[in-house]
Structure 1
Amino acid sequence: MIQLNDVSVRFGSLVALHPTSLAFQDGEFTVLLGSSGAGKSTLLRCLNLMNQPSSGSITVSELGNLQNRRALQAHRRHTGMIFQQHQLIGRLSALQNVLMGRIGYHTTLRSLLPLSKEEQAIGLHSLDRVGLLHKALSRVDQLSGGQQQRVGIARALTQQPRLILADEPVASLDPATADKVLAMLHQICKEDGISAVVSLHQVDLAKRYADRIIGLAHGEVIFDAAPRELTPMQAEALYAHRPSTVKAMPRPFRPSPFPLHLATAEK
């Protein structure tokens, strides 16, 4: 489980995320929902410290506070990241891109050498799971947008993650392809027991696939509940939110399985 304790993020004078306390449960498929600039990406990128909190703390069960370097390294090793614009190297093959998911398991020097047959097998299996084994040797700049995003998912799977963070993973895809890609990601996470936090704009996709929806606007959490509890009026308010007009709807309290003051492990 990941616990955020009064986490806020500032970029100069801009408050991108107001003080926020949330717990993300193991095995849960969570969707962050809201308009552009709502704070979805900021919150999501705090979960592996791609965005450094300006205040507050983030703790992970069995690892402790992510401000500890070793805890953060271990957390990132098992956290797959999927991006809106894929972040692939176009001149390389699908398999070469996917195998970059193994870099975190090696030192810088070792990563310059060819990967083992076992790790290459992991990469091929990951491509097979997203239906692209036949494209393993194809350059990714010759693939469609949907195929490239599936390569991005396979790269995340090659890390053998416990958590996947997906930042607007279907925003650049047409509606039909977006649904297929998100359905594939959801199915794989459920089959493997992988926790996922996915930021989206699309209310219909959020309600179809999420176990939990966290709605943000202007850097504040204003909705946190199961998809069935999100009414059309609340969805409309989410995108037209003004701090004085929408009452926050907090998620029912769940006790943390470890103390919030969990001590940082020794470096």
Structure 2
Amino acid sequence: MIQLENISVKYGKTVALHPVSLDIKDSQFTVLLGSSGAGKSTFLRCLNLMNPLESGNIRVSGFEGSWEKRALQILRRETGMIFQQHQLIERQTALQNVLMGRLGYHSFFRTLFPLSKAEQELGLQCLKRVGLLDKALCRVDELSGGQQQRVGIARVLAQKPKTILADEPVASLDPATADKVLNLIHTICKEDGISAVVSLHQVDLAKKYGDRIIGLAAGRVVFDGQPDELSERQVEALYQNRLVDSEFARSGQLMNIPVPFVS
């Protein structure tokens, strides 16, 4: 269970995320929708405390919001992150990149030596699961964009996370590849009982894969409901980065308070 209690974030004097309280159930596949600058990345990065909070408390997989170093290490070890630009080391092999997901389990000095045979076998299993076992010894820069993103997914699997956060994971991919990659993430999360929070721009993919959609505009949660409850007029409002008029809403947390655009 992920629980947010009145959390907010500021960058200088700019409010990037206005106070929000909500719960995300275990194993739920939650999609964040909204235009660029709406607060999706800020929302995501609150969940592993990569962004300092202006106010509020957060609980993720038993983590109680402590800023103590050891507690943060455990939170981030158990929270996998998938990035838009893959964040891989291109000169290294796919397997070497996947094994980066194990570093959080070891001290700095232990990471200077080769990982155990068991962990290397785990890395190979993770590559097999994303359909890239035959690419284990290939340099990442020899792979396509879709293959690189699958390496990123395998790296997250190697962490054995309880939660996966994905920040625009298919934004740089063509539509067919984007659907395949998101289907892979969705399938893994459902099979392993992993909670996922994924930010997207593609409304069709959000409705296809999301158990729940949270819409953000100008740093506020303006829609919170099931995919079939999101109307075309609400989508239009989201992508104009304005608040959704309650006249158009059928359910969820909706507000109608004018706020400035958050860049």
Q: Under a length normalisation based on structure 1, what TM-score does the superposition of the two structures give?
A: 0.90
* RMSD of equivalent CA atoms: 1.5
- Describe the superposition over 1:83-125 as per-residue Cα deviations: whole angstroms up to 9, x where unpaired: 0000000000000000000000000111111000100011000
Per the alignment, residue 25 of structure 2 pairs with: 25
Q: Is the 1:59–1:66 contact (alpha carbons within 8 Å) kept by the matching residues of 2? A: no
1:162: which partner in 2? 162
Q: From the superposition, tell whether residues 59 and 68 of structure 1 become closer, same or farther in structure 2 (CA, over 3 Å).
A: farther
Distance 2:88 2:174 in 1: 19
Unaligned runs of 5+ in 2: 255-263
Residue 61 to residue 84, structure 1, CA distance change in 2 (3 Å): closer
Q: CA separation in 2, counterparts of 1:68 and 1:57?
A: 14
Distance 1:66 1:6 in 2: 16
Map 1:111-190; keep pairs closer than 5 Å. Answer: 111-190=111-190
Provide the rounded CA distance (Å) in 2 between the counterparts of 1:251 and 1:236. Answer: 17
In the alignment, which residue of structure 1 is the partner of 2:40?
Answer: 40
Moved more, 206-215 or 233-242: 233-242
Q: Distance in 1 between matches of 2:230 and 2:83?
A: 26
State the number of aligned residues: 251
Cα pair 2:20 2:221 within 8 Å, conserved: yes
* Partner SS for 2:157: helix
Task: Give unpaired runs (5+ residues) of structure 1.
Answer: 253-267
**Partner in structure 1 of residue 245 of structure 2:** 246
1 CA distance for matches of 2:67 and 2:5?
Answer: 13
Distance (whole Å) between structure 1 residues aligned to residue 214 and residue 99 of structure 2: 32
Secondary structure at the aligned position of 1:49 is classed as: coil
1:8–1:20 CA contact under 8 A, matched in 2: yes
Please name the residue that 2:257 is paired with: none
Tell me the amino acid that sits aligned with residue 245 of structure 2.
Answer: V
Task: Find the counterpart in structure 1 of residue 4 from structure 2.
Answer: 4
- Asked whether the 8 Å contact 1:94–1:137 carries over to 2, the reply is yes
Which amino acid letter does the alignment assign opposite residue 176 of structure 1? A
Name the counterpart of 1:206: 206
Separation of aligned partners in 1, 2:66 and 2:209: 29
Report deviation, 1:70.
2.9
Distance in structure 1 (CA, Å) of the matches to 2:173 and 2:59: 34
Name the structure 1 match of 2:96: 96
Distance in 1, matches of 2:67 and 2:56, equals: 11
Counterpart-to-counterpart distance in 2, 1:29 and 1:67: 27
Query: CA separation in 2, counterparts of 1:61 and 1:202?
Result: 28
CA drift of 1:72 comes to: 2.0
Q: CA deviation at 1:251?
A: 5.1
Matched residue SS, 1:65: coil
d(CA) in 2 for partners of 1:132 and 1:191? Answer: 19
Structure-1 separation of matches of 2:42 and 2:63:
22
CA distance in 1, matches of 2:65, 2:55: 13
TM-superposed CA distance for 1:241, in Å, is 4.0
Tell me if structure 2 keeps the 8 A contact 1:26–1:194. Answer: yes
Same amino acid, percent of matched pairs: 69
In the TM superposition, structure 1's runs of 4+ consecutive aligned residues that sit over 4 Å from their partners are none
Hey, what does 1:263 align to over in structure 2?
A: none
Which is further off, 125-134 or 11-20?
A: 11-20
The TM-score normalised by the length of structure 2 is: 0.92
Q: Distance in 1 between matches of 2:63 and 2:44?
A: 19
Shift of 1:71: 2.6
Find the aligned partners of 1:246 and 1:229 in 2 and give their Cα distance: 14
Tell me the distance in 2 between the aligned counterparts of 1:71 and 1:49. Answer: 11
Q: CA offset at residue 61 of structure 1?
A: 4.6
Instruction: Find the aligned partners of 1:66 and 1:205 in 2 and give their Cα distance.
Output: 35
